[in-house]
Structure 1
Amino acid sequence: MKNQIVIHGGANSPSTLNEKLQKILDNLDVNGSSLDLAVKSVVMMEDDPTFNAGTGSVPRIDGSIQMDAAVMSDSGFGSVMCIENVKHPVMVARDVMEKSPHIMLAGEGAVEFARKLEYEYYNPETEKSREMMDKLKASIKNNTLPEKFKFMVKSSSDTVGAVARIDDKFAAAVSTGGAFPMLRGRVGDSPVIGAGIYQGEKGAVVATGIGEDIAKDLLSFRIYQQIGTDDLNEIVKKEIDKFKVSVGIIAISDNEYSVYANTDMAHAEREL
């Protein structure tokens, strides 16, 4: 099977973004390992304010921007949770895997780790995030925010992700600004091994959608476990069709890949 990379722009991202994602893959430097390509493609999405990751991240209910990211390959697993003021959380997640004795770092500890590795201060706030906060403040002022959103919110949720197969080696990478609106410190599925991301000798899987539901189901690991037992598309469809909330998956194995969601999900693929 030829080398392959697949990326997505998040659950609920419109198919009109497929062309933008395809350009990212068309311009991707394809030199390197499966992990190199997965991370490089996610970095390019983190740089695009269209997507809810890196520069395009959505704010927390207090106005802060906290981001999650994770990588997984034959080298291991690394993730950051609720990291702030860095441009590329997915690169910090890779450094957690490769340059620390840990697999997960969160909050101030993740930021401190990034600074020690000379990641510069970066404010990901954009006009998009400011407008979202203005609308949220207006909803609160007018008492129109639904009761269920006042303590734990599951309104919008997007993640960018990539899975790659290069020379029969698999890798996965994800990055997200989280859901909006949400409490400070909230962590979804993306940086949790087996929930939003999983990789092994059979393939790689990343998820997007409502993180709480995905995490409770350990969706990525569930799908990975079944690779080789049926057509990959059938495995992914069967698992996603169980959900009543927005969920999407990209997955890759030795001889196939799958892209499926129960909602809109922009995506692109490139054979290398």
Structure 2
Amino acid sequence: MADRRDFLKASLLGASAFALAGGANALAGSSDKSKAGARVVSTWDFGVAANQAAWSVLAKGGHALDAVEAGVMVPEADLKNHSVGRAGYPDRDGHVTLDASIMDADGSCGAVAALEHIAHPIQVARRVMERTPHVLLVGDGALQFALEQGFKKEELLTPESEQAWKEWLKNAHYQPSANSEVRDYGKTGMPGGKGNHDTIGMLAIDASGRLAGACTTSGMAWKLRGRVGDSPIIGAGLYVDGEVGAATSTGVGEEVIRNAGSFLVVELMRQGRSPQEACHEAVMRIVRKRPNASKDLQVGFLAMNHHGEVGAFAIQPGFSYAVCDAQRQDGLLASKSVF
């Protein structure tokens, strides 16, 4: 699989019209009222395909909540994606555990964490939101709920993921590293330079101006059994306020949780900052608190306000995000960064 940095270089050649400050405002010009104003953004290059699925909902005048659910199900089902969904790399004991959250503009939200044997955790998260009085279900309880809701129990550890895990066991070395898809075998214990963690976070605004967001991941490969990152934590990996905006994150989840990262980004937008400024400040708070550790960490934030304006910022270079609206269907951008 091509190095994501090379992919970014090729994709960015056509993305000049979507510069961070200006491109995110290019909403006008659609003659189809069902599309006017609608937009979806998501983290990383696999967000391009995910956005296409979300856009198929938005382009028909569909709800942003339905769009983000449909969108993130694409990487959840991708057998080549080892950081999200059914083909995710396992924990150090060989168990594939999945985390996901979903949130609507009115504050309705649902999440699952450490969920095994269910291919689409985002669907279970939505059922938690709509059919229980709770926000978060975890582990065996989340699985029990999913099965009661009619979801199919299946083995998620694919032959490729199992082989990668067995290779890792030879050294059993683990160290979270920035933009892990480009790290070497010695640092991550992964063959072929493959990385050990990633996430898809998706934010959408529909033609009626409604916001929603979703976030899903298999978490860090080779993690301690029971470890949960920021993705299923409302206010950390995802936060949506229909009156203000929405934010999601990627990278080392522990750092995002410590700073209630996505909630912070939305609150900064509430105070009048642009999505770009809000993401920048949230990243800098992490850097200021942990100036030495942050040199080896990656955290990135992606945000959209209720006008559909978009911003992103990361600690390290290499964080990319995808944008899709009536003017552009495959926009991939590189976030600005501290270092």
TM alignment of 1:141-152, pairs within 5 A = 145=173
Note if contact 1:247-1:263 (Cα within 8 Å) is conserved in structure 2: no
TM-score norm. by structure 1 comes to: 0.87
Tell me the CA shift for residue 77 of structure 1. Answer: 1.0
TM alignment of 1:224-263, pairs within 5 A = 224-228=266-270, 229-241=272-284, 242-243=286-287, 244=294, 245-255=297-307, 256-261=309-314, 262-263=316-317
Of structures 1 and 2, the one with the larger relative CO (CA 8 A, separation 6+) is 1
Note if contact 2:240-2:266 (Cα within 8 Å) is conserved in structure 1: yes
Tell me the CA shift for residue 75 of structure 1. Answer: 5.6
1:12 corresponds to which residue? Answer: none
Q: Deviations over 1:79-122 (max 9, x none)?
A: 00100000100010000000112111010110010001110012
Greater share of strand: 1
Note if contact 2:50-2:72 (Cα within 8 Å) is conserved in structure 1: no
- Paired amino acid for 1:252: M
2:52 is the alignment partner of 1:26: yes
TM-score norm. by structure 2 comes to: 0.70
2:256 corresponds to which residue? Answer: 214
Residue number among 187, 194, 200 corresponding to 1:160 in the alignment: 200
Note if contact 1:248-1:263 (Cα within 8 Å) is conserved in structure 2: no
TM alignment of 1:59-208, pairs within 5 A = 59-73=90-104, 74=106, 76-140=108-172, 145=173, 156-166=196-206, 167-200=208-241, 201-208=243-250
Structure showing greater radius of gyration is: 2
RMSD of the alignment, in Å? Answer: 2.1
- Structure 2 unmatched ranges of 5 or more: 1-26, 28-36, 177-187, 189-194, 288-293, 327-339
Q: How many residues align?
A: 254
Where 2:264 maps in the other structure, the secondary structure is helix
CA distance in 1, matches of 2:93, 2:66: 35
Q: Deviations over 1:183-235 (max 9, x none)?
A: 11111111111111101121111111101111001110111101152222122
Tell me the CA shift for residue 54 of structure 1. Answer: 1.1
- Paired amino acid for 2:69: V
Tell me the CA shift for residue 126 of structure 1. Answer: 2.2
Note if contact 2:53-2:74 (Cα within 8 Å) is conserved in structure 1: no
Percent identity of paired positions between Structure 1 and Structure 2: 30
